[in-house]
């Protein structure tokens, strides 16, 4: 019996060398380890082994079974490795890869996000208001007299019931102050509407970002500091920023802000980028009236507000020559901003 | 406003300021310099020449060949296209080497084969006048060869943007006054336009009837007889031409001059064409008016007219009439100088869509104290330049509006608002420079021309402007702020954007106004449901934009179509934005944030590796599951029958419907030239995402 097992072991050792593919290896397995295989048949001779020899023969049987199983495993691993190597043959890692589809944030989303991030770092929080507004929130509360040029059907979209499409995001200032006590520090990005024919520099629907900070003793110095930081966060830490006195109904004093940039292939120049100013006391008075209290009494609080056009910002930032590119959503245009 | 530097220098010495320095001085005080034109300056090699002969060009009918004396001793041959000269006329001659405005270099050359050694110039070619009809004929005794610069003063034209709160700056005197304050120097011999030597006489009703005193609180008229209407002298023409006005005749030119000198609009009527005295009244119902711009205007009963006994002769403060103006034959004029109420003029001007230099000033508010002074300046000039005799008295009706009330300045409060440590004296100096007078105890008397200074903050603005905002230290402060609901919503939406972009979907922004055709899209009806309606504009600007969009999908499908035209094969677009609707029973417009997705074509990039995967509806379903099903509730689909969609489903989050998706009717996709199936989804973000503040 022992000799028979040794013989099987030796046969197997020789046979495994010939098992050079998976079918041959399977044949080998059946021949030696299968139900009718040599080892199984030899094992059936166990019952004829004398009781005292049984432990030794049993041990031998196990050894041989283990050895044969190892042959199969080792050979199998070898064969798989060969197959792996075969599969890798002809792969040229220097060839171009297969890229995932990469889309892009719209340039306006990007500009807005940069502005929002910078202002949130300074402690501003987001606020929103409706785009279909009342005349009160869009004009009256913002110290814009009834016969102001903006307040007519030539410049503003009205609805039959007297509501209108907000002409600026400044209406969110009013909404916020109506519902929140000072101090307030908010930014309100969103759409605004004006009856402008669409051309290379105008859209009838455009995006703005509004900011408002009201507390005790907010000064012109605070306005300067905040807005300088904002524009340097967007355009780079060394960007020169300047303020020019201007006129808006809802702020006094009012300023326009220019930044100095070097458009591609041109000399550096000052570019007008935003309007701002100290909140006009009349605005606060309207808010007090609307709230029915005096927490926004202009003798107690001061504040600043600013507004910027995001299309213009994006156009300046990337040298976009025509505002209409921003609403056409041509993939070839959008994808240029994928890594911007 | 076009402003001539020479004209300004009549009132203030600015010789030490370069144009750039002057431009900065104005700009940083709130008067933006929008353009600068140098006139008649720096044109070297342009001299007085005399045309000695003129022969026709052998090769061109329109040209002639002139021999010109340029003072050099020998004649210069110049080919010329103009016809408006005679032999022996003197004209400006640009010699070879001259560089004319617009970087136009003059060289020796041949024109149609004939040598031409220079160019004879028109007024406009030298930027001396706007005239381009022919050569500028010089009426001069100057010898030939004299540089042209010696004949024409050089000038700088500043185009200034005057903000609506500063009507006092709509004149040369006004700008000079402002510059005096900014540059801290006096005006040259301040003209006493405010002081009056003429006797004012309340007008009899047959002379002036002031019916509409609310619209016109103060009206004056002066009669000047025996004038001789003719061309203005050169100095006056020069002044007007310098700011781009066309001289007309001495009387009209004088009224224009006074307007741009002092900011007071005047009007001169031809007395012979008036039927009796003046009546300042509101227009009659149905009254029409033939204005001097050649148009007829239909007036309403709140429009102000200046009328004689039978008809309107001017729309008060806006424009005179075609029939009552001064012409060559006029001998007696009636000179109007008045104060009209700003809001009234604004209303009429806007409604008639008719604006003039006069209405522009009246609607912003002129200096009421100048009305008489301006009338006097104009009368004086008329007597000087057109002769005649002025009546001894000035007829007046109504009252000069009161001067602005004094304004209080609280030094401490001003300091706090400015954020700068400026002493009371320094502030006072700035206000004094601007023409205000301290009345003690913080009270400041405001000059009549600064009606815009009404409140404390108005004075603070003046101080900031003149002190210079660049000198105010920037203060940086940051605060801790609790994120708002809107912060959380923005972050959630931004995260959604980020995931979609990472998955290859392009972030789109389309116009929120759509056309009727887009509104008719079944996808809009699908979003609106049975009880909601779209919100139309009252007066659309164009057929393309008539209605606020009730769905983002029509816009996104346009984006897909446009990109198909451009050859795109992978259409993966999304938009997050507001849509609008209205419940049939309520006027309130509902605004909500929707995510729209359009999907078709390649899901993988085309490459040499083999075929690209094509989008199918499982991609869109899987996307919605992945985007919104991350929480406790699962995203599931419920079959939906919809006309415009081949297959469709409602998207459910738990039990609530958060949106819809489906495959667009293939016939429609084919119309769009879409190569494969086209899928759309629209998700209501308020229902799909419950942003948590910790997100």
Task: Please report which helix (H) or strand (E) contains residue A323, including its range.
Answer: none
A270 touches chain B (CB under 8 A): no
b/e code A77-116 from CB counts within 10 Å (16+ = b): eebeeeeeeeeeeeeeeeeeeeeebebbbbbbbbbbebbb
Is B501 close to A203, i.e. CB distance below 8 A? no
pLDDT value, residue A37: 86
Helix residue ranges per DSSP H, A106-162: 107-121, 135-138
Bond from prior residue into A253 cis (ω within 30 degrees of 0): yes
Residue B199 belongs to what H/E stretch? strand B199-202
Residues B64 and B186: their CA atoms lie apart, in Å, by 55
Nearest to A101 among B347, B478, B604 (CB): B604
Burial code of B140-149, b = ≥16 C-beta within 10 A, e = fewer? Answer: eeeebbbbbb
Q: Which residues of B touch A149 (CB under 8 A)?
A: 350
Average pLDDT, chain B: 91
Q: Give the nearest chain B residue to A277 (CA atoms).
A: B461
Phi and psi at residue A134, in whole multiples of 5°? -95, 160
Question: Distance (Å, rounded) from C-alpha B617 to C-alpha B235?
Answer: 81
Q: What is the pLDDT of residues A186-245, one digit of tens each?
A: 999 999 999 999 999 999 999 999 999 999 999 999 999 999 999 999 999 999 999 999
Distance from CA of B505 to the nearest CA of A (A): 5
Chain A contact probe: residue of B24, B362, B461 with most A CBs at under 10 A:
B461
d(CA B414, CA B430): 13
CB contact under 8 A, A102 and B504: yes
Res B678 pLDDT > 90: yes
Using a CB-CB cut-off of 8 Å, the residues of chain B touching A255 are 469
Question: What are the structural domains, with CATH classification, of chain B?
Answer: 2-40+155-183 (3.30.56.10), 46-150 (2.40.50.140), 199-398 (3.50.40.10), 407-471 (3.30.56.10), 486-688 (3.30.930.10)
What is the rounded CA–CA span in Å between residue B633 and residue B689? 11
Other CB atoms within a 10 A radius of the CB of residue B692 amount to 9
Q: A331 and B568 in contact by Cβ < 8 A?
A: yes
Out of B30, B460, B504, whose CB is closest to A246?
A: B30
- Distance (Å, whole) CA B337 – CA B370: 9
Q: What is the pLDDT of residue B691?
A: 66
Q: What is the pLDDT of residues B541-555, one digit of tens each?
A: 899 999 999 999 999
- The band of B695, judged by pLDDT with boundaries at 50, 70 and 90, is very low
Identify the three-state secondary structure at position A272: strand
CB atoms within 10 A of CB A152: 14
pLDDT for position B517: 94
Contacts of A123 in chain B (CB under 8 A): 478-481
Comparing A307 with A21, the larger pLDDT belongs to A307
Mean pLDDT of B103-123: 88
> Dihedral of CA A189/A193/A199/A202: which sign?
negative
User: A158 and chain B: CB distance < 8 Å anywhere?
Assistant: yes
pLDDT band at B42 (very low <50, low <70, confident <90, very high): low
Interface confidence, given as ipTM, is 0.86
Residue contact A220–B417, C-beta within 8 A: yes
Whether residue A123 and residue B480 make contact (CB cut-off 8 A), yes or no, is yes
Among the residue ranges B180-194, B375-389, B659-673, the one predicted with the least confidence is: B180-194
Q: How many helices (H) and strands (E) does chain A have?
A: 12, 9
The pair phi, psi for residue B110, each rounded to 5°, is -120, 140
Looking at the predicted structure, is the pLDDT value of residue A340 above 60? Answer: no
- What is the tens place of the pLDDT at every residue in B165-180? 999 999 999 999 999 9
A255 close to B (CB below 8 A): yes
The whole-number pLDDT of residue B395 equals 94
- Summarised one tens digit per residue, pLDDT across range B593-627 is 999 999 999 998 877 777 888 999 999 999 999 99
Check CB contact under 8 Å for B464 and A253.
yes
Split at pLDDT 50, 70, 90, the class of B60 is confident
A153 contacts in chain B (CB < 8 Å): 538-539
Question: Which of B475, B562, B604 is closest, CB to CB, to A328?
Answer: B562
What residues in A contact B686, CB-CB < 8 Å?
none
* Contact at CB, A103 and B501, closer than 8 angstroms: yes
The rounded distance, in Å, linking the Cα atoms of B583 and B587 is: 7
Shortest distance, CA B533 to any CA of chain A (angstroms)? 14
Q: Quick one: closest CA in A to B535, which residue?
A: A159
- Give the CA angle between residues B591, B592, B598 to the nearest 5°: 125
Ramachandran region, residue B42 (left: φ > 0; alpha: ψ -120 to 50; beta: rest): left
Q: What is the pLDDT of residue A14?
A: 86
Q: Kindly report the backbone phi and psi dihedral angles of residue A43, in degrees, each rounded to the nearest multiple of 5, phi listed first.
A: -60, -35
pLDDT in tens, B353-381: 999 999 999 999 999 999 999 999 999 99
- How far is Cα B628 from Cα B339, in angstroms, rounded to an integer? 67
| Cα B241 from Cα B6, distance rounded (Å) | 12
pLDDT tens column, B566-578: 999 999 999 999 9
Chain segment A80-130, per-residue pLDDT in tens: 999 899 888 888 888 888 888 889 999 999 999 999 999 999 999 999 999
Is A91 in CB contact (< 8 Å) with chain B? no
Shortest Cα distance, chain B CAs vs residue A30, angstroms: 41
CB contact under 8 A, A205 and B513: yes
Residues of chain B found within 8 Å of residue A280, distances taken between Cβ atoms? 457
Give the number of other Cβ atoms within 10 Å of residue B293's Cβ: 11
Distance CA B30, CA B464 (A): 10
Q: Which helix (H) or strand (E) element contains residue A172?
A: helix A171-179
Under 8 Å between Cβ of B358 and B401 = no
Q: What's the half-sphere exposure (Cβ side, CA atoms, 13 Å) at A259? A: 25
H helix and E strand count, chain B: 18, 39
Are B470 and A161 a contacting pair at CB < 8 A? no
Q: At residue A26, does pLDDT exceed 70?
A: yes
Residue B193, pLDDT score = 64
DSSP-derived 3-state class of residue A252: strand
Of residues A123, A242, A302, nearest to B478 (C-beta): A123
Measured CA to CA in angstroms, residue B392 lies from B198, B222, B395 at distances of 7, 9, 10
- CA gap B268, B375 in Å, rounded: 10
pLDDT in the model for residue B403: 86
What pLDDT, on a 0 to 100 scale, did the predictor assign at position B694? 45
Is-contact A82 A47, C-beta < 8 A?
Answer: no
Q: Which residues of chain A have a CB within 8 Å of the CB of B502? A: 103
A162 touches chain B (CB under 8 A): no
Looking at A26-35, B56-65, B94-103, B300-309, which range is the least confident one?
A: B94-103
Chain B residues with CB inside 8 Å of A158's CB? 537-539
Note whether A189 and A112 are within 8 A (CB): yes
For B441-459, the pLDDT digits (tens) are: 999 999 999 999 999 999 9
């Amino acid at each position: 019996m022992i000799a028979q097992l040794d013989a099987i072991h030796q046969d197997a050792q020789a046979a495994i060398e010939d098992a050079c593919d998976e079918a041959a290896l399977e044949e080998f397995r059946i021949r030696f380890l299968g139900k009718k295989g040599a080892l199984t048949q030899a094992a059936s001779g166990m019952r004829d082994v004398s009781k005292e020899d049984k432990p030794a023969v049993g041990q031998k049987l196990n050894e041989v079974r283990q050895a044969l199983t190892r042959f199969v495993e080792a050979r199998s691993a070898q064969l798989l490795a060969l197959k792996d190597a075969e599969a890798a043959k002809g792969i040229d890692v220097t060839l171009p890869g297969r890229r995932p589809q990469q889309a892009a944030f719209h340039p306006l989303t990007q500009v807005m996000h940069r502005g929002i991030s910078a202002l949130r770092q300074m402690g501003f929080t987001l606020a929103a208001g409706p785009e279909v507004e009342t005349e009160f929130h869009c004009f009256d509360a913002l110290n814009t007299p009834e016969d102001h040029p903006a307040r007519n059907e030539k410049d503003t979209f009205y609805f039959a019931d007297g509501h209108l499409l907000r002409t600026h995001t400044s209406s969110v200032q009013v909404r916020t102050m109506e519902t929140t006590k000072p101090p307030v520090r908010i930014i309100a990005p969103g759409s605004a509407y004006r009856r402008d024919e669409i051309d290379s520099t105008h859209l009838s629907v455009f995006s703005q970002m509004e900011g408002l900070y009201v507390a005790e003793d907010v000064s012109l110095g605070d306005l300067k500091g905040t807005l300088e930081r904002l524009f340097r966060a967007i355009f780079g830490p060394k960007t020169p920023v300047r303020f020019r006195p201007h006129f808006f109904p809802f702020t006094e004093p009012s300023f326009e802000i220019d930044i100095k940039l070097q458009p591609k292939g041109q000399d550096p120049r000052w570019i007008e980028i935003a309007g701002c100013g100290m909140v006009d006391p009349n605005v606060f008075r309207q808010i007090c009236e609307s709230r029915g209290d005096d927490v926004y009494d202009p003798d107690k609080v001061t504040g600043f507000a600013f507004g910027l056009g995001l299309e213009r910002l994006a156009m300046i930032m990337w040298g976009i020559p025509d505002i209409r590119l921003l609403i056409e959503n041509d993939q070839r245009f959008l994808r240029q901003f994928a890594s911007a | 406003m076009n402003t001539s530097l020479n004209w300004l220098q009549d009132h203030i010495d600015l010789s030490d300021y370069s144009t750039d320095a002057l431009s900065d001085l104005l700009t940083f005080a709130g008067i933006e310099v929008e353009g600068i034109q140098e006139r008649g300056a720096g044109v070297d090699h342009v001299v007085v020449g005399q045309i000695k002969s003129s022969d026709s060009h052998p090769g061109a009918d329109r040209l002639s060949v002139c021999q010109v004396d340029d003072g050099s001793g020998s004649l210069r041959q110049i080919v010329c296209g103009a016809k408006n000269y005679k032999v022996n006329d003197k004209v400006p001659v640009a010699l070879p080497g001259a560089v004319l405005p617009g970087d136009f270099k003059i060289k020796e050359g041949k024109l149609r084969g004939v040598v031409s050694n220079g160019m004879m110039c028109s007024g406009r070619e030298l930027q001396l006048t706007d005239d381009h009809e022919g050569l500028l004929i010089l009426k001069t005794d100057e010898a030939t060869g004299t540089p042209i610069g010696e004949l024409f003063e050089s000038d700088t034209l500043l185009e200034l943007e005057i903000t609506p709160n500063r009507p006092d700056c709509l004149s040369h005197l006004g700008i000079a006054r402002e510059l005096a304050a900014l540059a801290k120097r006096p005006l040259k011999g301040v003209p006493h336009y405010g002081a009056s030597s003429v006797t004012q006489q309340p007008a009899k009703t047959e002379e002036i009837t002031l019916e509409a005193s609310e619209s016109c609180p103060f009206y004056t008229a002066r009669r000047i007889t025996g004038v001789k209407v003719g061309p203005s002298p050169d100095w006056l023409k020069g002044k007007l031409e310098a700011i781009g006005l066309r001289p007309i005749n001495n009387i009209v030119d004088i009224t224009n001059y006074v307007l741009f000198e002092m900011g007071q609009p005047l009007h001169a009527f031809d007395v012979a064409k008036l039927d009796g005295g003046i009546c300042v009244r509101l227009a009659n119902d149905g009254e029409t008016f033939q204005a001097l711009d050649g148009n007829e205007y239909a007036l309403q009963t709140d429009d102000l007219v200046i009328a004689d006994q039978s008809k309107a002769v001017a729309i008060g403060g806006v424009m005179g009439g075609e029939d009552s103006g001064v012409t060559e034959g006029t001998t007696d004029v009636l000179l109007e100088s008045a104060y009209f109420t700003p809001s009234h003029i604004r209303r009429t001007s806007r409604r008639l869509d008719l604006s003039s230099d006069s209405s522009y000033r009246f609607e912003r508010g002129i200096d009421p104290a100048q009305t008489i002074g301006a009338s006097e300046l104009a009368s004086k000039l008329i007597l000087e330049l057109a002769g005649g005799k002025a009546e001894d008295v000035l007829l007046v009706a109504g009252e000069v509006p009161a001067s602005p009330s004094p304004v209080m300045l609280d030094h401490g409060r001003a300091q706090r608002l400015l954020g700068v440590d400026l002493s009371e004296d320094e502030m006072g100096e700035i206000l004094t420079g601007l023409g205000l007078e301290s009345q003690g105890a913080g009270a400041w008397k405001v000059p009549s021309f600064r009606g815009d200074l009404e409140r404390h903050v108005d004075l603070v603005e003046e101080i900031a402007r003149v002190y210079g905002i660049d000198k105010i230290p920037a203060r940086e402060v940051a605060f801790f702020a609790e994120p708002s609901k809107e912060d959380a919503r923005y972050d959630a939406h931004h995260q959604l954007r980020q995931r979609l972009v990472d998955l290859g979907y392009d972030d789109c922004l389309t116009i929120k106004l759509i056309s009727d055709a887009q509104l008719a899209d079944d996808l809009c009806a699908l979003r609106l449901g049975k009880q909601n309606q779209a919100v139309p504009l009252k007066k659309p600007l164009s057929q393309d934009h008539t209605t606020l969009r009730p769905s983002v999908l029509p816009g996104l499908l346009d984006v897909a179509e446009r990109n198909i035209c451009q050859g795109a094969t992978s259409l993966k677009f999304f938009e997050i934005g507001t849509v609008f609707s209205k419940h049939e029973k309520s006027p309130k417009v509902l605004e909500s944030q929707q995510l729209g997705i359009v999907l078709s074509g390649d899901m993988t990039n085309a490459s040499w590796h083999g075929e690209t995967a094509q989008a199918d509806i499982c991609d869109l379903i899987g996307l919605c599951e992945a985007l919104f099903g991350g929480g406790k509730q699962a995203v599931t689909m419920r079959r939906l029958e919809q006309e415009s969609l081949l297959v469709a489903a409602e998207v459910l989050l738990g039990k609530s419907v958060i949106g819809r998706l489906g495959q667009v009717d293939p016939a429609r996709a084919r119309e769009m030239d879409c190569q494969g199936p086209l899928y759309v989804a629209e998700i209501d973000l308020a229902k799909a995402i419950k942003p948590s503040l910790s997100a």
